[in-house]
Structure 1
């Protein structure tokens, strides 16, 4: 009896193979042949699930975005659910820290995301995914700051849109620098910078 393969499971397995190749060899080396070898499949099997290389890379970028988003949403759901016993400043810091490469797994994840977003500069098919994650980041930060202001933790006159943009830029910048120069930007320093910024927001500075 032939083995039944779930298409979603197989597509995600192929995407993981793409990420493994990109992590070791770079974006341009993620050819159908190299990805098939990494996944232990024939090239024809890859073509069965993806029309072409562009579709494969776009799907992989969306899978990477989904992985990042799922992890962050778990923190967001906890923070944004009414709970009188929740330490909201600490929970806010933990949520925002998820955007930073605080350990090897997140450093590799951030590195992969940077590779794909850099590729999006010359590959238009990747740009919508890159834009969506950035928009999601800005929307989430805006919601977190709005909730904090409503709870009395931030000044009433705080410009949420401006501060969301500023905080997103801070997180992006720290992520890039810490991924490229991990020895100069250890996890403790990243947390200190984030905490200092959040403390400054409380005074409107």
Structure 2
């Protein structure tokens, strides 16, 4: 009886192999052959699920984003549940901290994400994918700030769109600096900067 292969699980396994190749050897070493070897598959099996390297790269970029979003979603559900959040400030900080490289997993993700976004400068299709994900992050931050404003945790006069842009830029900048210079930007400093920024939002500075 032939073995039944779950195509979704197989595509995700191949994407994980891409991430492993990028993390260990760099984006330039991603090829269907290298990925197949990493995944323990024949190259024909990889081609069965991905027509070319471009399709594989975009799918992998989305998988990386989904991995981060899944963690963020758990915090967001608790924070945005009117009856389920007892400490809004702490929950907000925990949610936003998921975008920062505070541990080994998130440091690796940050390095991988910046490798893909560097590719986006050269590839319109990858750029469109990156823009979509950036917009999703911005929308989540805007929703969190809007809810905070609604319960009086932010000044009524705060410009939510502007503050969402400022906060997402801060998170992106901290992540980039920590990915490049981890010794100069340890987790404690990243959390301190985020905490200070949230304080200024609340005070209206």
Query: TM-score, normalising length from structure 2?
Result: 0.98
Structure 2 Cα separation of the partners of residues 23 and 201 of structure 1? 36
- Cα deviation, residue 131, structure 1: 0.7
The offset of 1:132, in angstroms, is 1.3
Q: How does 1:52-71 map to 2 (within 5 A)?
A: 52-71=52-71
Residue 176 of structure 2 aligns to a residue whose secondary structure is helix
Q: Does 1:154 align with 2:126?
A: no
Number of corresponding residues: 205
Which structure 2 residues correspond to residues 107-186 of structure 1 after superposition, within 5 A? 107-186=107-186
Q: What displacement does 1:83 show?
A: 2.0
Q: How far 1:68 moved relative to its partner?
A: 1.0
Deviations 1:40-77 (A, max 9, x none): 11111111111111111111111111111111111111
Q: Distance in 1 between matches of 2:49 and 2:21?
A: 18
Deviations 1:157-192 (A, max 9, x none): 000011100001000000000111111111111111
Determine the C-alpha separation between the residues in 2 that align with 1:77 and 1:152.
Answer: 20
Map 1:1-205 → 2, pairs under 5 A: 1-83=1-83, 86-205=86-205
Taking only aligned residues, the RMSD between alpha carbons, in angstroms, comes to 0.9
User: What is the CA-CA distance between 1:150 and the residue it aligns to?
Assistant: 0.7
Q: Answer yes or no: is the 8 Å Cα contact 2:78–2:84 preserved in 1.
A: no
Q: Which has the higher contact order (CA 8 A, sep 6+)?
A: 1
> In structure 1, what is the Cα distance between the partners aligned to 2:129 and 2:63?
10
Q: Tell me how far apart the structure 1 counterparts of residues 121 and 17 of structure 2 sit (CA, whole Å).
A: 23
Greater than 2 Å deviation, 4+ residue runs: none
Displacement, 1:120? Answer: 1.1
User: 3-state DSSP class of the match of 1:82?
Assistant: coil
What is the rounded CA distance, in whole Å, between the counterparts of 2:125 and 2:138 in structure 1? 22
Write the distance in 2 (CA, Å) between the matches of 1:73 and 1:172: 19
Contact 2:78 2:85 in 1 (8 A): no
Unaligned runs of 5+ in 1: none
